[in-house]
Amino acid sequence: MIGIIDYGVGNVGSILNMLKHISVDAFLAKTPSDIEKATKLILPGVGSFDYGMTLLNESGLREVVDKKVIADNLPVLGICLGMQMMTRGSEEGTLSGLNWINGNCIKFKFDDDLKNIRIPHMGWNDIHVQKDNDSFFPMINNELQFYFAHSYHLICNNDIVTATCKYGYEFPVAFHQDNIFGAQFHPEKSHQFGMNFLMAFAKYCTAD
């Protein structure tokens, strides 16, 4: 059963509703015992980096989440800010991230010829799968689109990047490293594309 880490930030209700809509067993994980009984985890997040890390650090869940992900290799999916929090840190704040992957987050930086591009990157955009036959991204009518809302983006080792997106320039929007998955986009706002993505995560975890 997927435990959605409820540490006080993120649209956890929307994620839970979409998982229920696609008949995936899920619940809001609010206590350490909730985390312990989950067979996979989702780390959501919206807002600023330091705000998210502060709430997670003060929630009483950080230690058990670290244990389940790092020591027990429990599959985990970070969404938007949740994905960014999996890195070492972000230009948006001063606090350290979870340091689960070797990466950082930086603000969009555009050359003068792209200065009219607005920040944040908000709305629908195409993504480009970087690994052949990646089952997390089944296309619909030859399209692969997701909903974004962010001003900072990931930089990391290209070996773990599974999808990119172009907004002024190409940047990573999804990664997979061992049991750790990240998505900059919002699958819970991405209609059938998001449903397929979350179903693929649920099936991957079940298969493992």
pLDDT, tens digit, 9 for 90 and up, residues 139-170: 777 789 999 999 999 999 999 999 999 999 99
pLDDT, tens digit, 9 for 90 and up, residues 184-207: 999 999 999 999 999 999 997 554
Q: What's residue 170's pLDDT? A: 96
Tens place of pLDDT for every residue, the chain, 208 residues?
Answer: 999 999 998 789 999 999 999 999 999 999 999 999 999 999 999 999 999 999 999 999 999 999 999 999 999 999 999 999 999 999 999 999 999 999 999 999 998 888 789 999 999 999 999 876 567 887 777 789 999 999 999 999 999 999 999 999 999 999 999 999 999 999 999 999 999 999 999 997 554 4
Query: Please, what is the Cα angle at 102 between 158 and 72, to 5 degrees?
Result: 110
Q: Which of 153, 165, 188, 205 is catalytic?
A: 188
Residue 46 within a domain: yes
Residue 131 within a domain: yes
What would the two tokens of residue 43 be? 């780390």
Residue 16 within a domain: yes
For the sheet containing 103-107, what is the strand order? Answer: 89-90, 103-107, 152-156
Residue 70 within a domain: yes
SS3 75: coil
- Range of the structural domain that residue 7 is part of: 2-203
Query: How many domains does the chain divide into?
Result: 1
152 phi and psi angles, rounded to 5 deg: -120, 150
33: domain CATH number is 3.40.50.880
186 is catalytic: yes
Residue 163 within a domain: yes
Residue 100 within a domain: yes
Cα-only R_g, the chain = 16
Residue 208 within a domain: no
Q: What's residue 139's pLDDT? A: 76
Q: Which of 150, 153, 176, 186 is catalytic?
A: 186
Residue 114 within a domain: yes
Q: Which of 80, 105, 156, 205 is catalytic?
A: 80
Beta strands per DSSP E along the chain: 2-5, 26-29, 40-43, 76-79, 89-90, 103-107, 121-129, 145-150, 152-156, 161-167, 169-177, 180-183
